[in-house]
Amino acid sequence: SADPHALLREIERVLVPEGHALFFGFNPWYPWRLLVRRERWPHLPGSMTVPRLKDRLLVLGFEPRGGRFGLYAPPPGEGAPSRARRAFEAAGDRWWPLLGGVYVLDAVKRVPGMRIIQPDWQKRKKQRAERLAAIAERARLERGS
């Protein structure tokens, strides 16, 4: 999106409470993008880093639940043999978890709950009946004396 903040606000507006949203993105911190020919790696002016996305989601009332990075190795055809790419992918989560090329993040929209307090009609009927019985008893005693 050209305006990612407006997009996040719109997602927050239309998503139901406790609804899940999945965010997919290209990581601007991906180190191999500097070696990739420009036409093969998308240049996204509105791309966000994961910490910044999490911060924006917290401000909007979302709770980030989890996510994953992927594509740690250089893209195919950039001079790295396939064995080296597999080794990069295998070690990526462990050694440089924030430097994957793409990410997915799951977030839940949290809305402060409210409890609707309704009048207890049965209790009110009982109290009213007791009051009317007491008035009737007093009137009967006054007539009898």
Give 30's DSSP letter. Answer: -
Helices 50-59 and 4-14: crossing angle in degrees, nearest 10, is 40
pLDDT of residue 20: 94
The residue ranking higher by pLDDT, 112 or 8, is 8
Q: Does the pLDDT value for residue 16 go beyond 80?
A: yes
At residue 128 the predicted structure's pLDDT band, cuts being 50, 70 and 90, is confident
Pull the structure tokens for residue 27. Answer: 């990581």
Mean pLDDT of the chain, nearest integer: 81
**Structure confidence at residue 12 as a pLDDT band (50, 70, 90):** very high
Q: Kindly report, residue by residue over 39-82, the tens digit of the pLDDT.
A: 555 556 667 888 999 999 999 999 999 998 888 887 666 566 77
- Token reading at 82: 């396939």
pLDDT of res. 65 = 92
Angstrom CA distances, 48 to 88, 95, 113, 123, stand at: 23, 22, 30, 57
Q: Which residues contact residue 68 at a Cβ distance below 8 angstroms, ignoring those fewer than 6 apart?
A: 100, 103, 104
Q: Over range 21-28, report the average pLDDT.
A: 87
Q: What is the sign, positive or negative, of the torsion defined by CA atoms of 98, 110, 5, 3?
A: positive
Three-class secondary structure of residue 56 per DSSP: helix
